[in-house]
Amino acid sequence: MLAGYRRALGLTLRGFALRGRAVGPGPGVGSGLGLRAVSTSWSPVGAAFDAKQQRGSAPGRETGLFGVPELSCPEGFQEAQDKALQESEQLVQKACSTPPGPEIVKIFDQLSDALCRVADLADFVKIAHPDFAFREAAEEACRNIGTMVEKLNTDVELCQSLRQLLADEVIMNSLDPETRRVAELFMFDFEISGIHLDEEKRKKAVNLNVRILDLCNEFLTGTHLPNKIDKHILPEHIRYNFIAEGNYLQVAGLHADCPDDLVREAAYKIFLYPNAEQLSRLEELLASRNSLAQLVGYDTFAHRALQGTMAKNPETVTQFLEKLSDQLSKRTQKDFEMMTKMKMKLNPRNSKLMPWDHPYYSGVLRAERYNIDPGLYCPFFSLGACMEGLNSLFSQLLGISLYAEQTQRGEVWSEDVRKLAVVHETEGLLGYIYCDFFQRPDKPHQDCHFTVRGGRLKENGEYQLPVVVLMLSLPPSTRNAPTLLSPGMMENLFHEMGHAMHSMLGRTRYQHVTGTRCSTDFAEVPSILMEYFANDYRVVNQFARHYKTGQPLPKNMVSRLCESKKVCAAADMQLQVFYASLDQIYHGKHPLQKSTTEILKETQEKFYGLPYVPNTAWHLRFSHLVGYGAKYYSYLMSRAVASMVWKQCFAQDPFDRAMGERYRREMLAHGGGKEPILMVQGMLQKSPSVEDFVDALVSDLDQDFETFITDS
């Protein structure tokens, strides 16, 4: 999953600082670093993660977070913010006084970088830092930079300098394609912020954006808050499953894996019980997004959000989802029938399949049919072995090696964070990945990729190296064993590392479009593609070794694991279609014809098949409505593209270096500097249709799909 400043806000605040998920952490992180040979401070990646203890910080003076000197204390955010705002004011003056030409685009990108340098770094810190004072200071910095962004996005004089460039056909025709696209993207950011409106309407657009930001933050907080219930309402024999607080029980999730049907039912009905405040926030958020979209000239918020994506418009998304739903319907029905039979077998008194049953009974069916016990796999997936597996794959496919690098005092926010240098065999150091992999109190449980600094060509000719953070929630090592990953954790690690490689290998001239700063429905392609590698025996066999005996993971175990994932996969995909369809309706034509809860009920019955449960409001827990507003379909469309790329380019040989180079050249290198569908065309040598997307997803569900793995 992608995270960061723009991702958190969706398209409510887009523009200079908010085109992507990247930021520059400021002077000090790798400043002056060019290409270099392997450093003596680098060590093998696997050993760094399987070590019982983290190596101490390097000797020398203390630095700040990510090597930013100001951030050695929370108060440093104010200093970093002030510098960024001062620099941005100077760049605005420079842009307004520079005649039309490529220099204008460079100045705009410097302006974007100056604001990102603080904003996205602060966005990560406010979520992940264990010190409340740091989180609070970072939150304030995010708010202040966001306010500046809104002013810039409606600055008429600044926009005029860019408009003059775009109006000069001779100059525009002389620009290289990337520079021309970046100029157009900056203008697009102005337009969706209402630059073409009169002063009164521009102010209204700014106010709407600010209100939307506040509503997003409030709604997101509300999606995670637990619900309480008088403990005497629940049967005594299930109360121990929930946290007790005096006479109340706290329900903080769905307990989807619990074998007791009654526990899952209680959790579902209590956790999803409607909250009037949260409902009001959602309704105001959806109405405000629609008002903003119409104010700046779009029919709906979905039309505004989907401009520049692979799908391009909500009509294409709806067509994609409806065609996919039609193709899935018979398979989904069979999956529900299998789950119902299993429920009848285990609980004859209550065999009707309900929404709280789907995750549990699909898991039971997988385990029973293929004898899948995650505990049998974990000993083969030590974290160190998995990191060496990634290292080996990237080396063969892309000519890249990962090295652990010792950190300076104060550089990281937790002593168990590892820093990796990403090094190309001929190009040298490409960037850094900070690995925040281990569980700790108050740390978010979501697996995420944050871009902390985007790459760009600096004014002095050096390349600004990208810096990212990967955040997972893995168990720590013990006295007797290293950190051991379940198959799902291993796949998630590969997924997030796919995002990281996108950031490392996107060698764009402008940070505004670097790495994962591209359309959402393309940004998930590299990460999902990595899941296909993680499920291929030829890849897994290179690193999956029992941490005690060194025995390789048997081929038939990998085969069973891969095939087990297809059990009830149609129903799982149908659920995603339901979520994506609901997202489209909420962000479609307003005013909505019915209440959000009635729409939920209708959409669930049309696209999912399991009944709506009265007095529940799942949509009030749908946190993706914030970051993926009108774009939740992106996961499905990205998976379709990843499937096509895998089957056509890597299924024959997952280590094919020529294909790896083509993948970098056609898809990873451009970031958002090229139309997403053109990158897909370059890789597949054809332009896929909606039907191609649907066929790719459905064909992945076939049990007899060739995986190049056979039971021994």
User: Known catalytic residues?
Assistant: 496
The letter for the amino acid at 324 is: L
CA 429 – CA 37 distance, rounded (Å): 8
Task: State phi, psi for 451 to the nearest 5 degrees.
Answer: -90, 120
Cβ neighbours for 170, distance < 8 A, ≥ 6 positions apart: none
Contact 325, 303 (CB under 8 A): no
Which residues on neighbouring strands pair with residue 251, listed in sequence order? 227
The letter for the amino acid at 97 is: S
Cβ neighbours for 129, distance < 8 A, ≥ 6 positions apart: 65, 135, 138, 413
3-class DSSP assignment, residue 582: helix
Give Cα 304 to chain centroid, integer Å: 20
Give Cα 16 to chain centroid, integer Å: 20
3-class DSSP assignment, residue 627: helix
3-class DSSP assignment, residue 42: strand
CA 118 – CA 114 distance, rounded (Å): 7
CB under 8 A, 24+ apart: contacts of 5-8: 5/116, 5/119, 5/120, 5/123, 5/142, 6/120, 6/517, 7/627, 8/123, 8/216, 8/220, 8/626, 8/627
Contact 130, 100 (CB under 8 A): no
CA 436 – CA 407 distance, rounded (Å): 13
CA 118 – CA 115 distance, rounded (Å): 6
